[in-house]
């Protein structure tokens, strides 16, 4: 009997602090696989709805906290489904205490500071669940592929990111990072669908075609950063993403496990309110 897949089977090994770069091999995980699927899209959606109800309860308890917070990082190639993940996984979660932060190319003002300046300002507050739709990793990926920074600067940014995430973790932030892993063929199909459907033209940008031409370079850049920025306090998980419903269920399962592990509960009742009657 084959072993039932577990979430940690898809966790990138923790960075060991070694000097030699050890890229994570993305080819080890098939983006079309569905290890956490319930067997059909309808069954996946039912499971997602059940998880959503649990997440809503946990989110309310998190929002009542004053020393805990959660950061979910979503990264992936164009069309990998970052927006769709947010809509599907958090559809049934009370938006109170939930914040989505989309990161685009830095503005002139942002670029005049260190690359983490704009990111730190968006870190989750106490009791908040923040979702980074793209993130600080864009400031290593894109400039490295475009050869705007060299290997030394790239290594410095990796180190700065590890230290930044360590600071957040030490301050009470639980961090989970997901790489939405799609195949090149699936990306082609999704880009074509955007072109063929006039109602989706707003989602299409010519730059997506240019970036696709550098698919291999971006894949290598991702493998490099995954290998050196997955830590015990901020782990990376590889999410097979050719199936949208499977992607959503797997991330929902991961978020649910993470929040259950935080032992969230409401603060103790206030003795000062005992017996108080509102006239």
Instruction: Tell me the domain boundaries of the chain.
Output: 7-264
Position 2 scores a pLDDT of 60
Helix (H, G, I), strand (E, B) or coil at 173: strand
Position 153 scores a pLDDT of 96
Contact between 228 and 21 (Cβ < 8 Å): yes
Position 20 scores a pLDDT of 74
Question: How many other C-beta atoms are found inside a 10 Å radius of the C-beta of residue 86?
Answer: 19
Q: Give, for all 279 residues of the chain, the pLDDT tens digit.
A: 567 889 999 999 999 887 777 899 999 999 999 999 988 999 999 999 999 999 999 999 999 988 999 999 999 999 999 999 999 999 999 888 999 999 999 999 999 999 999 999 999 999 999 999 999 999 999 999 999 999 999 999 999 999 999 999 999 999 999 999 999 999 999 999 999 999 999 888 888 888 999 999 999 999 999 999 999 999 999 999 999 999 999 999 999 999 999 999 999 999 999 999 998
CATH number of the domain located at residue range(s) 7-264 in this protein: 3.40.50.300
Cα atoms in the Cβ-side hemisphere of radius 13 Å centred on 95 = 5
- Residue 271 DSSP label: G
Give the bridge partners for 131, in sequence order.
72, 100
Q: Is 109 exposed, middle or buried (0-12, 13-18, 19+ CB in 10 A)?
A: exposed
Q: What is the pTM of this model?
A: 0.94
The position carrying tokens 């290593």 is 140
Position 17 scores a pLDDT of 84
């Amino acid at each position: 009997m084959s072993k039932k897949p577990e979430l940690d089977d898809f966790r990138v090994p923790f960075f060991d602090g070694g000097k030699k770069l050890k890229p994570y091999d993305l080819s080890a995980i098939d983006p079309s696989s569905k290890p956490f699927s319930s067997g059909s899209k309808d069954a996946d959606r039912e499971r997602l709805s059940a998880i959503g109800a649990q997440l809503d309860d946990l989110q309310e308890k998190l929002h009542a906290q004053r020393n805990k917070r959660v950061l979910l990082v979503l990264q992936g190639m164009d069309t990998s489904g970052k927006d769709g993940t947010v809509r599907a996984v958090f559809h049934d979660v009370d938006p109170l205490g939930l914040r989505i932060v989309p990161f685009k190319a830095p503005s002139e003002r942002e670029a005049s500071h260190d690359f983490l300046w704009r990111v730190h300002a968006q870190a989750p507050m106490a009791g908040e669940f923040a979702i980074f739709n793209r993130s600080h990793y864009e400031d290593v990926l894109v400039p490295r592929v475009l050869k705007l920074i060299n290997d030394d600067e790239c290594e410095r940014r990796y180190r700065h990111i590890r230290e930044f995430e360590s600071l957040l973790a030490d301050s009470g932030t639980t961090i989970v990072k997901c790489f939405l892993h799609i195949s090149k063929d699936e990306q082609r199909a999704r880009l074509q669908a955007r072109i063929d459907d006039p109602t989706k033209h707003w989602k299409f940008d010519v730059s997506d075609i240019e970036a696709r031409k550098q698919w291999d370079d971006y894949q290598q850049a991702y493998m490099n950063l995954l290998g050196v920025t997955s830590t015990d306090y901020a782990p990376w998980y590889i999410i097979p993403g050719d199936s949208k419903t499977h992607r959503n269920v797997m991330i929902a399962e991961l978020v649910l496990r993470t929040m259950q592990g935080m032992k969230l509960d409401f603060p103790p009742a206030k003795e000062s309110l005992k017996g108080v009657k509102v006239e």
